[in-house]
Amino acid sequence: MKIDGQHTRSIWVEDDGWSIGIFDQTLLPHRCVRLRLTCVDDAARAIRTMQVRGAPLIGAAAAYGLCLALKEDASDESLERARAKLLATRPTAVNLKWALDEMTAAVRNRPREQRIAAAYRRAAEICDEDVAINKAIGHHGLKLLENIAARKKAGERVNVLTHCNAGWLATVDWGTATAPIYLAHDRGLPVHVFVDETRPRNQGALTAWELGQHGVPHTYIADNTGGHLMQRGMVDICIVGTDRVTAQGDVCNKIGTYLKALAAGDNGVPFYVAAPSPSIDFAILDAFAIPIEERGAEEIATVSGLGEDGRIAAVRVAPEGSPAANYAFDVTPARLVKGLITERGVIEASAAALARAFPERAQAAQSAAAG
């Protein structure tokens, strides 16, 4: 989307034709710093430390990480080592494994001298596919916002509540949950976004930053404010992203999503999940079989921010010596989800609807389980 009025993506191949450019998202929203990745260890570190984050972008970064590994050594052994190293970085988002499987299939049976070009070609395709998927999600989600606007007085704003960052910073471009919002804003629909901070890493600040860059009206709120706003009739719709959707339609997303869905259900606010097909895991039926990442306690015990001296620093907020638990994701049951906004339309969060929308994916998962 836009930074200082200039269109950009969140990951790219640098002018040298092989190294990879990203934004260091650990410094946003206070500083916009571009980083250059030159080896698979750089890519793995960027994913693990959340310099890149968001399920689709993690997949894209892993794809290019495999490219960097093959550039150094195109052997089968190098391919497998790099794949294992990247796969171990973040366990919950299924896009990571999906992208690595796609990349491995693209190069495995090729002669070594062809592997590097084939890898960069497939990684670029994965990025372009992500952009196309997200734009399609935007068009389908836009209809939901237009329907809400049609029931309001002329000029009255449509209020959307988000959780975490499912914007273009979490994808290659457009975002998932934000794609309908960007399209609505660009078409003149009076859309406004309540952006919750999303502790412990305050990823809502990334959403607020990118909405601000694009000129979308928004309000930054504390995590626990959403229920209050819904009770007061101040939220028309909730749209969140996802790191993994099960074959049954249950949704695994950033910790706190479940609580937003409960509040939405109690107040009659439609709760939608923007779900690109690479985030749908037809191999998982039981949502509690999804591995839930537990991150370091320091993310809970400290908070990072911009000081008066202009420096970014971490300060301690938890008492010294108090243990902390940092579960990064939770599961929202399908019954709380009004619909999944996919690139093939808005569908019910159910096994039947998912199988109808993506029959080739469902059949492939069945074949793999049987064979």
Neighbours of 75 (CB within 10 A): 12
Query: Per the residue annotation, which of 42, 173, 243, 250 is the catalytic one?
Result: 243
Closest CA to 298 of 272, 273, 279, 316: 316
Pairing of strands 2-3, 6-7: antiparallel
Active site residue 243: yes
**How far, in Å, CA of 55 to CA of 175, rounded?**
11
Closest CA to 206 of 298, 97, 63, 304: 304
Task: Kindly report the backbone phi and psi dihedral angles of residue 53, in degrees, each rounded to the nearest multiple of 5, phi listed first.
Answer: -155, 170
Sign, CA torsion 189/170/294/339: positive
CB 214 within 8 A of CB 248: no
Helix (H, G, I), strand (E, B) or coil at 340: strand
Tokens of 7: 């269109």
Neighbouring residues of 21: CB distance < 8 A, sequence distance ≥ 6: 11, 12, 13, 14, 34, 35, 36, 37
**How far, in Å, CA of 254 to CA of 162, rounded?**
11
What beta strand segments (E) does the chain contain? 2-3, 6-7, 11-13, 20-23, 34-37, 158-162, 191-196, 218-221, 237-240, 244-246, 251-254, 271-274, 280-281, 302-306, 312-316, 329-332, 339-342, 345-347
CA distances (Å), origin 349, targets 136, 141, 220, 354, 356: 18, 15, 29, 7, 12
CB 120 within 8 A of CB 18: yes
CB 86 within 8 A of CB 65: yes
Catalytic residues: 243
